[in-house]
Structure 1
Amino acid sequence: MKRLLTLAALLTASPAVAATKNVFSSEFYSLANTDFIVLVSFLLFLGVLVYFKVPSRLAELLDKRAAGIRSELEEARALRDEAQTLLASYERKQREVQEQADRIVAAARDNATEAAELAKKDLAASIERRVQSAQGQIASAEAAAIKQVRDEAARIAVKAAGEVIQQKMSADKAASLIDDAIGVVRAKLH
C-alpha cells in the first residue's frame, strides 16, 4: 500500500506530468515524446532504487546516525554530570582551603598579638631592671662619693690635728702617748 501511494505521489509530482497537458493522449506515450522518456527513466530509476533497497539502507544509515547521535548525547550528558560533580568537588575543596587559610590567618594574628603583648611585658621588665640597676649604680656612686668625702675629710682632719698636735705637744708628751698606744695594741693582739 505504501508503495502504491509513493508511486502515485511521484507520478503526480513528476516534472513530465506537470509539463504535459494531456496525459491520456496517444502522443504522450510515444517514444518521440521526451517527457514520456524522462518519466519512464525516472520510474525505472526509482524501481532500481527500490530493488536494491536503497530507501531501507538510507533509513538504516539514518537510524545508525540517529543512534550515534543519541549515544553521543548520552555520553555528553554523562560527561556534563561528571564535570558538574568535579566542579562541585573543587568548589567544596576551595571552600575548605579558604576556611583553612582564614583559620591560619586568624591564628597568626592571635600569635602576633600575643607576641606583641609578651614583647611589651618583656620591654617593661627590661626597663624596670635597667632603672633599678641605674638606681643601684647611682646609690653605689653616691655611697662611694660620700666615703671618699669622709675619707678626705678624715685625712684633712688627721693632718690638721697632726699639725695642731705638733705645734702644741712637747717631745716628752709625744713619747708617753706612743708608749700608751703600743700598750693598747699589745693588749688587743694578745
Structure 2
Amino acid sequence: MIGTAWAAGAGAGQESLFSDPAFWVAVAFLLFFALAGKVLWKKITEMLDKRTAGIAKALADADQLRADALKAKTEADRTLAQAATEAGAIVQQAREEAARMQARAAANLETAVALREQQALDRIAQSEAQATKQVRDTAVDVALAATRALLREQVGSGRTQALVDEAIAELPKRLH
C-alpha cells in the first residue's frame, strides 16, 4: 500500500524523479552498458588485438618476403655475373680454337701446295726422262739405220773382210 499511496500522492501534484520513465530508461541504459560494456569492451579489444596480430603477421611476412626477394636478387646478380664470366671464357676459348683451326688449315694448305708442287716437279722430271729416252731411242734407231745402210753399201763392195780384220786388231786396245 505504501507503493500505491506513494504513487497516488505523486500524481497529486508532485512529480518525482523516480516516476519519470526517462530516468528509468537512462538507469537501464547505464546498467546495460555497465554489465554488457565489460563484455563488449572485451570482445572489441579481442577483435582489435586479433586485427593487430594479423597486421603484425602480415608485416612480418612482408619483411620476410622482402628479405627473400633481396636474397634472390643477390643470387640472381651473382649467377648473372658468373654466367657473363663463363660466356667471356667460352668466347675466348672459341676465338683461340678458331685461331688454332686457321693455323692448322694454313699449314695443311701449305703442305698440300708443297705436295702438289712436288708431284708436278716429279711429273716434269718423269716427262723429261721419258722425252730424253725417246730422243736417245730415236737417235739410236737413226744411228742403227744409218749404220745398216752404210754397212750394206760397204759390205756389198767387198770390204767385209777388211772391217772384220780391223775390228779384231782393235779388240786388245779396247778390252784393256
Report if TM-score (shorter chain) is over 0.5.
Answer: yes
The whole-number CA distance in structure 2 between the counterparts of 1:169 and 1:65 is 148
Picking from 76, 90, 94, the partner of 1:104 is 90
1:128 paired with 2:114, answer: yes
1:86 paired with 2:72, answer: yes
Root-mean-square deviation (Å) = 3.1
How far off is 1:121 after superposition?
Answer: 2.1
| 3-state SS in 2 of match to 1:169 | helix
Per-residue displacement from partner, 1:9-67 (whole Å, max 9, x unpaired)?
A: xxxxxxxxxxxxxxxx979x743x7xx7765664454234224x221231122123212
TM-score between both structures, scaled by the size of structure 1: 0.67
After superposing the two structures, state which structure 1 stretch, 135-144 or 164-173, moved more: 164-173
Aligned to 1:7: none
The whole-number CA distance in structure 2 between the counterparts of 1:146 and 1:116 is 44
Q: Percent identity over the alignment?
A: 31
The whole-number CA distance in structure 2 between the counterparts of 1:37 and 1:142 is 148
The whole-number CA distance in structure 1 between the counterparts of 2:75 and 2:84 is 14
The whole-number CA distance in structure 2 between the counterparts of 1:153 and 1:104 is 72
The whole-number CA distance in structure 2 between the counterparts of 1:65 and 1:115 is 72
Aligned to 1:55: 41
Aligned partner letter, 1:58: I
Aligned partner letter, 1:163: A
1:163 paired with 2:168, answer: no
TM-score between both structures, scaled by the size of structure 2: 0.72
How far off is 1:96 after superposition?
Answer: 0.2
Matches within 5 A, 1:1-190: 30-31=20-21, 39=26, 42-51=29-38, 53-170=39-156, 173-174=159-160, 177=163, 180=167
The whole-number CA distance in structure 2 between the counterparts of 1:150 and 1:75 is 108
Taking a change above 3 Å as real, the CA distance of residues 136 and 50 of structure 1, as seen in their structure-2 partners, is same
**Structure 2 portions without partners, runs of 5+:** 1-14
Aligned to 1:14: none
The whole-number CA distance in structure 1 between the counterparts of 2:77 and 2:97 is 30
Q: How many residues align?
A: 156
How far off is 1:90 after superposition?
Answer: 2.0
The whole-number CA distance in structure 2 between the counterparts of 1:176 and 1:45 is 178
Aligned partner letter, 2:90: I
| 3-state SS in 1 of match to 2:103 | helix
Taking a change above 3 Å as real, the CA distance of residues 157 and 47 of structure 1, as seen in their structure-2 partners, is same
